[in-house]
Amino acid sequence: MEKQAADGVVVAVSRSATHTMVKPNQGSIRLLAGLGVEGDAHMGKTVKHRSRVARDPAQPNLRQVHLVHGELHDELLAKGLGVEPGQMGENVTTRGIDLLGLPTGTRLHLGDAAVVEVTGLRNPCAQLDGVCDGLMAATLDRDVNGNVVRKAGVMSVVIAGGEVLPGDAILVELPAGAQKPLEPV
C-alpha cells in the first residue's frame, strides 16, 4: 500500500450501545481490531444491522465503523437540513478527506494507533427521515450518466485498535495495484 499524508481530521466520535439512528458524541472512542467500536451496538465479527442479521446472521461484519465526511453536513445545511455529527449513525465524522472518492481497501490511520479499512458505501435508509424530514433523499443524487450516488458515508472494518479523539489527524493509505471503486455494503 502507498501511504500519503492528508489534511484529514476527526471532527467528532460517536457510539450507541443500542440500535438507534442517532449516536451521541463522545470525548473519545476505542476501536477494537476485528470488532469495531467498543460499546457500540454494531460491534462484532459478524453483521449486527438487524435487517442483515435477519437475512444471514453469520455473514462477516463489513460495517464495523461508519464514517461520514463533515462536508456532507455543510451540504445538507445549505439545503435547510441541519444535521450534526452522530445524527446519521456515524461513529467518526471527518473533515478534509473525500471519503466517497476513496477506493475499496483504503486504510485510514486515525490518531496514534487505530487503522480502519474502507469496505464500501453506506446505503442510505428511510430511518434517516426520522432524524430530519427529507434527509434520505438529500443523501442520494445522480451523476451525469444517471447512476445513483450514495453520499451517506463509508463503512469500514478495524485493522488495528486504538483510541480515537476529535482533533486526531487522519492519514490515508491507498491500496496498491488496481483500485476498485466503492460499492454499497
DSSP letters, the chain, are: -EEEEEEEEEEEEE--SSS-SS--EES-EEEETTTEETT-TT-SSB--SHHHHHH-TTSB-S-SEEEEEHHHHHHHHHTT----TTTTS-SEEEESS-GGGSBTT-EEEETTTEEEEEEEE----TTHHHHSTTHHHHTEEE-TTS-EEE-S-EEEEEEE-EEE-TT-EEEEEEPSSS-PBP-B-
Residue 181 domain flag: no
Residue 184 domain flag: no
Residue 58 domain flag: yes
Confidence bin at 6 (pLDDT 50/70/90)? low
For residue 37, how many other CB atoms are within 10 A of its CB? 25
How many domains in the chain?
A: 1
Predicted confidence (pLDDT) at residue 5 exceeds the cutoff of 60: no
Q: What is the per-residue pLDDT for 57?
A: 87
Question: What is the per-residue pLDDT across 106-161, written as a single tens digit (0 to 9) for each?
Answer: 999 999 999 999 999 999 989 999 999 999 999 999 999 999 999 999 999 999 99
Q: From 153, 164, 6, select the one nearest 89 (Cα to Cα).
A: 153
Residue 14 domain flag: yes
Q: What is the per-residue pLDDT for 67?
A: 98
Residue 185 domain flag: no
Residue 183 domain flag: no
Question: What is the per-residue pLDDT across 41-72, written as a single tens digit (0 to 9) for each?
Answer: 999 999 988 788 888 989 999 999 999 999 99
Residue 136 domain flag: yes
Domain membership of residue 28 as a residue range: 2-174
Q: From 19, 50, 21, select the one nearest 132 (Cα to Cα).
A: 21
160: domain CATH number?
2.40.33.20
| pTM, rounded to two decimals | 0.94
Question: What is the per-residue pLDDT across 68-110, written as a single tens digit (0 to 9) for each?
Answer: 999 999 999 999 999 999 999 999 999 999 999 999 999 999 9
Alpha-carbon gap, residue 160 to 126, rounded angstroms: 32
Residue 129 domain flag: yes
